[in-house]
Chains A and B, each alone.
Chain A
């Protein structure tokens, strides 16, 4: 068996250690917040009963997952322990997550067509081979098609163009 310091170092490299840790955090949050609601008795359960119980169970499961990371894994048999993929795509991830935000912003103040265009444009920029031009063309094409489908055909009540500046 290795000395404990390298065991600890091994542990922080294991993915399951973080997976378990995240579950423990979630569980603690759920249970602590849940205990502020009325728990009631088993016979007359209050709103806090089940969530608190779920939180406690989640903490226990988190401990089990993290503990499993301590146990030596059959050498190399398990899948990779990396949390980030080989080539992290921070820019692409950022683009994908910003895209709905753009949709909200432009949709609220300028209408469906600008929202659609910006949403697709930003998301498309995430691809490593994308250029401003290719993204703009793709967004324009999908915007025409999408607005036609959702605004005219499916009657989603969102104005195509509007101006709510100053709001």
Chain B
């Protein structure tokens, strides 16, 4: 088994090292890093804005480039959080806690240098996991009938919406809204039009790009316009030389890095627990086992390295269910899966066998891309740091243009540009009402496949809804759903007391949903400071 995995990996390197694929991977990492560094541009916004650039490419090149954009943007976000104390992406909220104090002490360069290294270690572990676990998962998934697929999707949707951020009920509401938006357009089975109101442009459904750019582009711009405090660039003088950690730093960072990696990979095995929770649990654990927990928050390298390694290892781990089952764990994965679907590739367990070039090429390109990331960031850090100073007033109008032209380029149709404006307004209203729009994307991407499988399962079972609990594998998934909801209610009841304690940071390790909420609250709180 190991030998087949290695042969496949070898093949993957062959695909990823083809000159044009390598070039696009490089472009992806470079541009992703560049855009991700900009304050206020998280990976979701970065990927959605750059997605239209890949429309004209072959599927392999497109997905390799988007993979590069993803971790480029993530690392760019880490730079932004460490040097400016501005987490653009929830997992980085924890990195700020110790990263920014380090910057204030003039050790921001060291923090960045070790972050590159930690993310490389975390990602490498995650990739290794992906190589060996995905084929196993596929073998199991190929036995699944529609009923199993359906209940697995239900589990994924519930976990993705309740564990991520904010109130679980609101998260589920957003998922349901996403599922509905996915059903707009021509019904695949009967051919009748749904919710199109006579607009023929809606026959093919709502455009994924328009949805993503509306929710993570326009709505975010409306949220931050004139609200962003002037950026403090006092501490951002980081040069290449500053990044080199001392031997003592390396030694101190070594074990936290591995602990973070392991925590991240464990978190990625639980469906729905994305990088945010992984980074939070990693930080809490590191604090708990530390000999001097009181020093956390004052600029300890452990507090930077451990969550960063954990984030990257869990992001790579999240690719396992996304690529092998076709069930994304969070909105970033949903977006990448949506990009594959735009290229005409059907996600699911058959993906690895039908498109081995995509899967193994992606795996190999992760490694290549992460090495590129290290190589790029060491000499270019000075340029990235300068980009941090670009004021928001120049940034968002230019981004608006990218939104408009990107949506137009999807179909060469102005209708979608109008669509993006409407979705942007809706997204902003939802944001202000305390909803997090990420689960909408999750529901939207999974919606049509959920409906298809649900119909098929019902047809096979002759309309007997109990089929979902009669079939053993499906029953397990349903039971997990029930446990998930039950534990949420339990933690709610219990957590309402814990919320009152201001120093609730330690709850992260034992009460995950509580921890996640705290992390989310911190994300909302930090930029205001």
Interface residues, chain A, CB within 8 Å of chain B?
15-16, 18-19, 22-23, 26, 30, 33-34, 37-38, 41-48, 50-51, 54-55, 57-58, 61-62, 64-65, 68, 74, 77, 79, 83-85, 87, 89, 92-93, 96-97, 99-101, 103-104, 107-108, 112, 115-116, 119-121, 123-124, 126-130, 135, 138-139, 142, 146, 150, 154-158
A–B Cβ pairs within 8 angstroms, 28 of them = A16-B433, A19-B433, A22-B430, A22-B433, A26-B177, A41-B463, A43-B459, A50-B454, A51-B195, A74-B500, A77-B499, A79-B434, A79-B521, A89-B225, A93-B225, A96-B225, A100-B404, A100-B424, A103-B405, A103-B417, A107-B408, A120-B400, A123-B400, A126-B226, A127-B392, A142-B398, A150-B409, A154-B53
CB distance from B44 to the nearest CB of A (A): 18
The binding surface of chain A is classed by DSSP as: helix
Which B residues touch A129, using CB under 8 A?
393
A19 and B435 in contact, given A104-B418, A120-B397 (Cβ under 8 angstroms): yes
- Selected interface stretch from B85-93, B186-194, B271-279: B186-194
CB distance from B24 to the nearest CB of A (A): 13
Which chain B residues numbered 395 to 446 have a C-beta less than 8 Å away from chain A?
Answer: 396-398, 400-405, 408-409, 412, 414, 417-418, 420-421, 424-425, 428-430, 432-435
Other-chain residue from A30, A64, A84, A103 in contact with B432 (beta carbon distance below 8 A)? A84
A99 touches B400 (CB 8 A): yes
Interface residues, chain B, CB within 8 Å of chain A?
53, 56, 167, 169-170, 172-173, 176-177, 179-180, 183, 187, 189-190, 192, 194-195, 218, 221-222, 225-227, 392-394, 396-398, 400-405, 408-409, 412, 414, 417-418, 420-421, 424-425, 428-430, 432-435, 451, 454-455, 458-459, 462-465, 496, 499-500, 521, 524
Nearest B residue (CB) for A137? B394
User: Complex formed: what's the CA distance from A103 to B53 in Å?
Assistant: 19
A83 and B225 in contact, given A58-B177, A119-B404, A123-B400 (Cβ under 8 angstroms): no
CB distance from A73 to the nearest CB of B (A): 9
The binding surface of chain B is classed by DSSP as: helix
Which A residues touch B458, using CB under 8 A?
42-43, 45
Which B residues touch A30, using CB under 8 A?
180, 195
CB distance from A151 to the nearest CB of B (A): 10
A120 and B420 in contact, given A83-B432, A129-B393 (Cβ under 8 angstroms): no
Nearest A residue (CB) for B459? A43
CB distance from B462 to the nearest CB of A (A): 5
Nearest B residue (CB) for A61? B173
A37 and B398 in contact, given A30-B180, A54-B180 (Cβ under 8 angstroms): no
Other-chain residue from B404, B434, B496 in contact with A99 (beta carbon distance below 8 A)? B404
